[in-house]
């Protein structure tokens, strides 16, 4: 039997620039430095200082890192490491050279372009593929984690300039034994992308994420979110009560089969909705590949590079407001 041993190593993280700033955390691009001039570009998610002393938030941040550590899938942003330096907790993650779906949509508005229908369905299918993996993930003892993302929305779906679609930010996910959950007491997620059961303070399962994928797909096709109201409360009410439209009447590109997929994804009756993400994935793939050749990562990659007139960036200058260096020897 192989002997067990521990490797003590030292490398540091140097912040390059700020990528994204959310309500509770900030994501930076960073360089991971190791032995013999080893350098790897990664992303680092850091808790905002204003939340650094809140025990429950810290526990959920740590729980998120532990939860996603073993979620290794091409359609999920990979987590590398949980660390702590000078009282600041951080998660190092796969760096995605690309944009989130919100930025992707805004670029279509700016350039007055319409996203091809097949690419909209392809993007949704990749999100469903990542969810199908996450929903069936088991722990080391073989027990299903019961993972539900609960925040499938444009900001949490990344598209790399190579064409890879990746689901990210499991910060408010629920899964057995990892995160403190107040489901039934508070509403988690973005109001205009949540499921009716989320909006109504009910318990959720994997089918909740399927409803959210349906909203994202409809948004990609139409260029707007049919559930979005003037206020968060109006959006929540629309998710729970608004009649689901016939999408064929809103976009002539939506045929009977695609409308059927959207309708079933957005069923409020859980028994009528797709029972799992794999079922939705298969229907989406059948739709785009039923006549043979269909969109691929390479197809989407060429499209997004052209959309953003993207070329390989040069060396970025360090963000003067983000000069933290993280020492792995203090990691947890």
| Coil/strand/helix, residue 89 | strand
State the sign of the Cα–Cα–Cα–Cα dihedral 244, 250, 256, 259: negative
Q: What percent of the chain has pLDDT over 70?
A: 82
Has residue 5 been placed in a domain? no
CATH number at residue 18: 3.30.200.20
pLDDT at residue 9 in the model: 55
For the stretch 259-272, pLDDT in tens is: 999 999 999 999 99
Q: Are 23 and 116 in a shared domain?
A: no
Has residue 108 been placed in a domain? Answer: yes
Task: Tally the domains of the chain.
Answer: 2
The answer on 251 and 125 residing in a single domain is yes
Q: What is the pTM of this model?
A: 0.87
Residue with tokens 């939506």: 254
pLDDT average, residue stretch 212-229: 97
199 and 127 assigned to the same domain: yes
Same domain, 82 and 106: no
Task: Identify whether residues 172 and 289 lie together within a single domain.
Answer: yes
The reported pLDDT for the residue numbered 21 is: 78
Tell me the three state secondary structure of residue 44. strand
- CA dihedral (146, 150, 153, 157) positive or negative: negative
Least confident of 14-28, 107-121, 196-210: 14-28
Strands 165-167, 157-160: pairing is antiparallel
Catalytic residue among 70, 139, 141, 151: 151
| Least confident span in 15-19, 80-84, 130-134, 293-297 | 80-84
Is residue 3 in a domain? no
Are 319 and 251 found together in one domain? no
For the segment 175-194, what is each residue's pLDDT rounded down to a tens digit?
665 555 555 445 566 889 99
Inter-CA distances, 299 with 102, 118, 269, 305, Å: 20, 10, 36, 10
Question: Does residue 7 form part of some domain?
Answer: no
Encoded tokens for 295: 């969109």
Note the pLDDT of residue 52. Answer: 61
Say whether 306 is catalytic: no
pLDDT at 266: 98
Residues 74 and 171 placed together within one structural domain of the fold: no
| 86 or 202: which leads in pLDDT | 202
Q: Residue 211 has what pLDDT?
A: 98
Q: Are residues 64 and 167 in the same domain?
A: no
Number of continuous H segments (helices) and E segments (strands) in the chain? 9, 9
237 with 173: CB under 8 angstroms?
no
Closest CA to 13 of 36, 43, 53, 56: 43
pLDDT at 76: 96
Predicted local confidence at residue 4, as pLDDT:
62
Give yes or no for residue 302 having a pLDDT over 50.
yes
Give domain status of residue 124, yes or no: yes
Looking at per-residue pLDDT, the higher value among 227 and 139 belongs to 227
What's the confidence (pLDDT) of residue 328?
45
pLDDT at position 182, please? 56
**Looking at the structure, do residues 137 and 188 belong to the same domain, yes or no?**
yes
**Is residue 202 assigned to a domain?**
yes
Q: Give the C-alpha separation, 219 to 114, whole Å.
A: 12
pLDDT in tens, 132-168: 999 999 888 888 888 999 999 999 999 999 999 999 9
Q: Does 296 lie in the same domain as 322?
A: no
Q: What is the pLDDT of residue 106?
A: 96
pLDDT digits (tens, 9 = 90+) for 53-90: 666 777 777 777 887 888 999 999 998 888 887 777 88
Q: Domain check: are 265 and 299 in the same one?
A: yes
Same domain, 67 and 55: yes
% of the chain residues with pLDDT over 90: 57
Between CA 282 and CA 128 the distance in angstroms is 9
CATH of the domain at 118: 1.10.510.10
User: Is residue 1 in a domain?
Assistant: no
What's the pLDDT score for residue 330? 45
Asked if residue 139 is part of any domain, the answer here is: yes
Mean pLDDT, rounded, for 45-58 = 72
Q: Residue 91: is its pLDDT beyond 90?
A: no
Q: What is the pLDDT of residue 175?
A: 65
Q: Which domain holds residue 194?
A: 98-307
Q: Tell me the average pLDDT of the chain.
A: 85
């Amino acid at each position: 039997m192989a002997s067990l041993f521990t490797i003590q190593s030292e490398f540091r993280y140097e912040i390059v620039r700020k990528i994204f700033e959310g309500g509770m955390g900030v994501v930076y691009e960073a360089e991971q430095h190791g032995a013999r001039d080893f350098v790897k570009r990664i992303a680092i998610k850091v808790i905002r200082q204003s939340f650094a002393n809140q025990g429950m938030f810290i526990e959920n941040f740590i729980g998120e890192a532990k939860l996603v550590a073993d979620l290794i899938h091409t359609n999920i942003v990979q987590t590398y490491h949980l660390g702590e330096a000078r009282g600041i907790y951080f998660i190092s993650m796969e760096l995605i050279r690309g944009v989130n779906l919100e930025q992707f949509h805004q670029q279509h508005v700016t350039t007055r372009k319409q996203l091809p229908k097949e690419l909209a369905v392809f993007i949704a299918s990749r999100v469903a593929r990542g969810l199908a993996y996450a929903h069936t993930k088991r722990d080391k003892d073989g027990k299903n984690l019961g993972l539900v993302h609960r925040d499938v929305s444009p900001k949490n779906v990344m598209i790399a300039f190579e064409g890879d679609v990746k689901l990210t930010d499991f910060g408010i996910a629920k899964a057995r034994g990892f995160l403190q959950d107040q489901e039934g007491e508070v509403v988690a997620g973005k109001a205009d992308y949540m499921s009716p059961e989320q909006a109504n303070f009910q318990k959720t399962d994997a089918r909740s994420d399927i409803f959210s994928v349906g909203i994202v797909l409809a948004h990609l096709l139409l260029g707007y979110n049919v559930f979005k109201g003037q206020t968060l409360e109006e959006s929540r009410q629309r998710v729970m009560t608004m009649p689901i439209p016939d999408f064929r009447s809103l976009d002539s590109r939506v045929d009977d089969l695609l409308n059927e997929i959207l309708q079933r994804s957005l069923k409020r009756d859980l028994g009528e909705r797709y029972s799992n993400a794999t079922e939705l994935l298969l229907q989406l793939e059948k739709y785009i590949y039923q006549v043979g050749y269909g969109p691929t990562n390479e197809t989407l990659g060429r499209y997004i590079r052209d959309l953003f007139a993207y070329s390989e960036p040069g060396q970025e200058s360090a963000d003067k407001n983000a000069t933290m260096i993280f020492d792995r020897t203090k990691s947890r």
